[in-house]
C-alpha cells in the first residue's frame, strides 16, 4: 500500500509540516509507513495548489491520500470541490483523515464482504462531502467576520494593517545566528522554511545597507 501524506498550511508564517509526526504515528499504528509527503503553504480555498496537483499526478489506483483533517484538503467552493473530488476518484485514491474514523477502512489491505465494504465507502463518502461543506462554510464565516472587524476598525481610525510578528522574527534571527539551518530554525520557531528564508534574506540586506552607510 502506497501512502501519500498531504500537509497544508494557509500562510507562509504557518508550519505546514506541523502534523507530519501525527500522520506518521497514525500510519505506523495501522501497520504502514508514509511513502511520500506533499507539503505546501497554500490556501485551501485555492484549487491550483502545486503540491496537491503533483500528488494527483503521482498517484495510482489504491493509493491512500492521508490528511490530518478534511479542511487541509479543501475549503473550496462547491463547484471546485466537486472537480477535485472527481479527480481524486478518477485516480482511485482512498481519502483517509485522522479526524474521520469511518475513513480508517482505507488503511486496510484486505477488505470484508462486498456489501459491508460498499456501505462503509458510501457512508465515508457522505461524511467527507459534509465535512468539506463545513470547512468551506467556516472559511466564509471567518472571512466575513474578519472583513467586518476591519471595517469597524477603519471607521474608528484604529486599523493599521497586519503587523509583523516581531517576536517570531527575533527568534528566527537568533536561531540562524546560533548556526541552525533553515529547516531546524523553522521547526524551532514554529514557522515555514519560506518565512525563515525571507527573514534571513531581509537581515542580510539590512546588514549590507548598514555597512555601506558606515563606510561612507
CB atoms within 10 A of CB 202: 12
Q: Across-strand partners of 95? A: 65
20 labelled catalytic: no
Residue 94, sorted as left (phi over 0), alpha (psi -120 to 50) or beta, turns out to be beta
Q: Is 182 exposed, middle or buried (0-12, 13-18, 19+ CB in 10 A)?
A: middle
**How many Å is the maximal CA-CA distance in the chain?**
81
User: Is the distance from CB of 173 to CB of 203 less than 8 angstroms?
Assistant: yes
Q: Which helix (H) or strand (E) holds 4?
A: strand 3-9
Distance CA 4, CA 27 (A): 10
Q: Give 32's contacts (C-beta < 8 A, 6+ positions apart).
A: 1, 3, 64, 107
As a whole number of angstroms, the distance between CA 181 and CA 194 comes to 13
* Catalytic positions, written as ranges: 10
Amino acid at each position: 500500500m502506497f501512502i501519500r501524506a498531504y500537509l497544508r498550511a494557509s500562510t507562509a508564517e504557518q508550519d505546514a509540516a506541523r502534523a507530519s509526526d501525527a500522520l506518521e504515528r497514525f500510519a505506523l499504528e495501522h501497520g504502514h509507513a508514509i511513502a511520500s509527503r506533499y507539503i505546501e503553504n497554500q490556501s485551501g480555498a485555492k484549487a491550483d495548489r502545486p503540491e496537491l496537483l503533483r500528488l494527483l499526478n503521482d498517484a495510482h489506483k489504491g493509493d491512500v491520500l492521508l490528511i490530518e483533517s478534511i479542511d487541509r484538503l479543501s475549503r473550496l467552493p462547491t463547484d471546485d470541490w466537486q472537480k477535485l473530488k472527481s479527480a481524486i476518484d478518477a485516480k482511485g485514491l482512498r481519502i483517509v483523515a485522522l479526524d474521520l474514523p469511518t475513513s480508517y477502512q482505507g488503511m486496510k489491505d484486505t477488505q470484508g464482504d462486498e456489501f459491508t465494504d460498499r456501505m462503509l465507502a458510501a457512508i465515508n463518502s457522505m461524511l467527507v462531502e459534509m465535512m468539506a461543506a463545513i470547512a468551506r462554510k467556516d472559511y466564509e464565516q471567518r472571512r466575513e467576520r474578519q472583513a467586518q472587524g476591519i471595517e469597524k476598525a477603519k471607521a474608528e481610525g484604529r486599523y493599521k494593517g497586519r503587523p509583523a510578528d516581531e517576536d517570531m522574527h527575533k527568534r528566527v534571527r537568533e536561531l540562524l545566528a546560533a548556526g541552525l539551518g533553515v529547516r531546524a530554525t523553522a521547526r524551532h520557531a514554529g514557522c515555514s522554511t519560506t518565512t525563515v528564508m525571507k527573514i534571513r534574506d531581509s537581515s542580510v540586506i539590512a546588514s549590507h545597507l548598514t555597512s555601506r552607510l558606515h563606510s561612507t
